[in-house]
A and B are shown apart, each in its own frame.
Chain A
Amino acid sequence: MVNGQAGKINPKFREFNYGLSSGKVCLITDAGRRQFHYNKSNEMREHAILLTIFLVAATAISLFFFFIYRSSLPEDGKGMVNAGKKRLFFALILASVLIILLTVTLPKSPYFLFADETPAKVVYVAARQYSYTMSYQAIDPKSAGRSDTIELPVNQPVEFRVTSFDVNHGFSIYNDRAELVTQTQAMPGYVNRLRWVFTEPGTYNVLCLEYCGVGHPIMRTSFTVK
């Protein structure tokens, strides 16, 4: 039996959950490989890491340009020595960095998350201007409107089957610190399947992140993870 029981996480995929942040920490211990250590601030750290990377890079570029600008002022005029070599060197470094980043990040794409798990719960989501219907049962567009109160288990894979009954909408899940945890788009005519493991109990809010008309910012719903 390759796969875990429904509702349990295959440790192999645990790592994908947290992108840049503490994925490796999550893999941890050996025995049974079913014990996981969850860091409560995973989402926050991931956002902060991306911002830090950006700010550091932007500052470095600005300082570098300032340095280049300053170098142009004195009556020196020697120009860059060995520019061709430097360019080649720079291109090679940049290409290697890009290739490394690609090989690291591509497997973490959401499309491969929890792919060989059996979700413990499946939730059907139908978006429309400007509300969501969420149900444990498939939603018939003719009788839609009745929403179930959604309660999902913590630390177990769940699946959202998301569609829209009018225009494109977003289905973006925020934790109670207003941090974006994961998302998919709600496209009319198609059902997108989003699998996720919530590692923190609490109330989660769903916001629309695809502009859908005047009610776009007030379109929301929520569910609980216990």
Chain B
Amino acid sequence: MITRSLKRITSVWIITVLVLFVTAIIFGITMRFNQGKDLTMSPVGFYSLMTTHGITMIGIWAAAGLVAVNYLLGRYVKVSVSLNVFAFVTTVIGVLMIWATTFIGKYHAGWTFLYPLPLQVAWAKWATPVFLFGLGILGAGWLIWSVGMLLQILSKYSLKQAFAWQHFSKNPAVETPPLVLISTVSLIGIIVSLLTAVILLVLYFLEYFSGGNFTNDPLLMKNLTYFFGHTIANESLYLGLAAVYELMPESSGRPRFKTTWYVALAWNCTLVFILTAFFHHLYMDFVQPVGFQMIGQLASYFASLPAAAVTAFSVIALVYRGRIRWSLTNTLFFIGIMGWLIGGIGAVIDATVSNNMILHNTLWVPAHFHTYNAMGNVLFCLAFFNWVAHEFAGTQASVKSFRLTTVLLLIGGFGFVLMFYLGGAYSMPRRFSVYPQEFTHAAILASLGAWFATVYLVAIVLIFANIIKKCLKVFSPSFSS
């Protein structure tokens, strides 16, 4: 059941996420302008900002997905608001600790904190343990929250039903709503990735406090890092898709999606692919066994099959000659699916080992992940925010003009990532605060990227303005659920 308190905490989350989002976009634009030589930052300033940008973006969009799923699960199962509030508190504490390390302590090991870089202290001495603790608090909060949601699902549905296995036989007695199926799969992925983070942090602290008596294995640490990092980023997107399944038909005035055998199959396979695809981050580590590299490419390739043939196809089939009532909500979902597919093409190209040799850690990498985040998952979540804001305000999603917003979003977003793709194809390295002079066009691409991102930011601010007033309504004394 969706209670008033659930609405309130969801509203608090939405406002927090959007404020942090706008801030983190500005960080990103600043970095791109620095690479474009339009402004000059110290390398330490650049890399501290890069670390903040990365961890904030990963954090808020994973949180946004959990918020959306938590809210929408309220339609099917009894959800706990107190766990949600608890996760919000740990998130705020974690983010504040992390921001303190990067802004005050000048910590700059990157959000991926690849071992042993955080231990090579080139910043305030306290920053390394505080960063790791901050991450631990944040992760622990989400872990408890995610386990809680999974328990809530399993208290109504049996394990088989939660995975929709009954849909493999004819005429299933119970239908598992797609939202429940996708939430189950994605929450399990989130839990696995957060447990990985816990192990990673424990190993870090073992070494940190051992006084030099214990050193970790760099290969294990790298595997753990990307298992955690890749999986949490990837699952955030799938949480966003849960909202697409639930709300796209509803906001378009079309019959809701049903779970069928192929939907069930697709999402069960997705769980397996997500948990093994991270190996593609280690393609250029020749010490990794070749078998794992092959699994990495197989999983990365086949993850696209359920994504395109089931999810994207369903959305297309719904829209095609569907007499759709377009609003900001379903427009964002629709563009998001498109951005997700385009980013997916970039990802599959890079996940091919023989291509990875000339694309690994070039700008191609931020190119593809910004595509399916900024033009994919972010739009799914914004669509949910917009929809839920209307629900809070008791208004209908207006069909009034949102054309300007959409046009700015498309031009800004795709222009921004195109500059990354061009840079990547021309071998420009990622994570360079300034480019060596042999990359003659790198600075101009960075500048253009920053300007496009500014256009994107304008669109985001327009959407934000549209949402925030409605979100604040849940706090007015006269608000009734």
Where the two chains meet, the residues of A that have a C-beta atom closer than 8 Å to any C-beta of B are 16, 19-20, 43, 46-48, 50-51, 53-55, 57-58, 61-62, 65, 68-69, 71-80, 83, 86-87, 90-91, 94-95, 98, 101-102, 105-106, 108-111, 129, 166-168, 170, 172, 174, 178-185, 187-190, 192-194, 205, 207-217, 220
Are B47 and A214 in contact, with the CB atoms below 8 A? yes
Which of A48, A166, A187 is packed against the most chain B CB atoms within 10 Å?
A187
Bitwise interface map of B from 298 to 309 toward A, beta carbon under 8 Å scored 1, else 0:
100110110011
Are A71 and B353 in contact, with the CB atoms below 8 A? no
> In the complex, which of the residues B335, B337, B438 contacts A174, with contact meaning CB atoms closer than 8 Å?
B438
Residue of B whose beta carbon sits closest to that of A110: B357
Are B353 and A209 in contact, with the CB atoms below 8 A? no
Q: Is B192's beta carbon under 8 Å from chain A?
A: no
Number of B interface residues in the complex (CB < 8 A): 79
Are B285 and A217 in contact, with the CB atoms below 8 A? no
CA distance A48 to B310 in the complex (A): 32
> In the complex, which of the residues B285, B294, B358 contacts A192, with contact meaning CB atoms closer than 8 Å?
B285
CB distance from A81 to the nearest CB of B (A): 9
Residue of B whose beta carbon sits closest to that of A59: B342
Residue of A whose beta carbon sits closest to that of B110: A211
Residue of B whose beta carbon sits closest to that of A168: B114
A75 partner residues in chain B, CB cutoff 8 A: 323
A213 partner residues in chain B, CB cutoff 8 A: 47, 108-109, 117, 120, 122
Q: Is B317's beta carbon under 8 Å from chain A?
A: yes
Query: Could you show 14 A-B contacts with beta carbons less than 8 Å apart?
Result: A19-B354, A54-B349, A65-B334, A68-B319, A74-B321, A76-B321, A94-B309, A98-B302, A106-B297, A166-B116, A172-B361, A185-B285, A210-B114, A211-B114
Are B360 and A167 in contact, with the CB atoms below 8 A? no
Are B117 and A168 in contact, with the CB atoms below 8 A? yes
CA distance A55 to B367 in the complex (A): 13
B345 partner residues in chain A, CB cutoff 8 A: 54, 57-58, 61
Chain A: interface secondary structure?
mixed
A209 partner residues in chain B, CB cutoff 8 A: 360-362, 429-430
Q: Is B370's beta carbon under 8 Å from chain A?
A: no
CB distance from A111 to the nearest CB of B (A): 5
CA distance A20 to B355 in the complex (A): 8
Bitwise interface map of B from 307 to 323 toward A, beta carbon under 8 Å scored 1, else 0:
01110010011011111
Q: Is B39's beta carbon under 8 Å from chain A?
A: no
> In the complex, which of the residues A50, A167, A184, A185 contacts B116, with contact meaning CB atoms closer than 8 Å?
A167
Interface hit among B58-66, B95-103, B127-135, B217-225: B217-225
CA distance A91 to B345 in the complex (A): 16
> In the complex, which of the residues B122, B293, B301 contacts A101, with contact meaning CB atoms closer than 8 Å?
B301
Are A182 and B357 in contact, with the CB atoms below 8 A? yes
CA distance A170 to B217 in the complex (A): 18
A192 partner residues in chain B, CB cutoff 8 A: 285-287
CA distance A45 to B127 in the complex (A): 45
Are A72 and B322 in contact, with the CB atoms below 8 A? yes
Are B352 and A188 in contact, with the CB atoms below 8 A? no
Chain B residues 41 to 58 lying within 8 A of chain A, measured CB to CB, are 43-44, 47
> In the complex, which of the residues A19, A43, A68 contacts B320, with contact meaning CB atoms closer than 8 Å?
A68
Are A47 and B293 in contact, with the CB atoms below 8 A? no
CB distance from A196 to the nearest CB of B (A): 10
CB distance from A109 to the nearest CB of B (A): 4
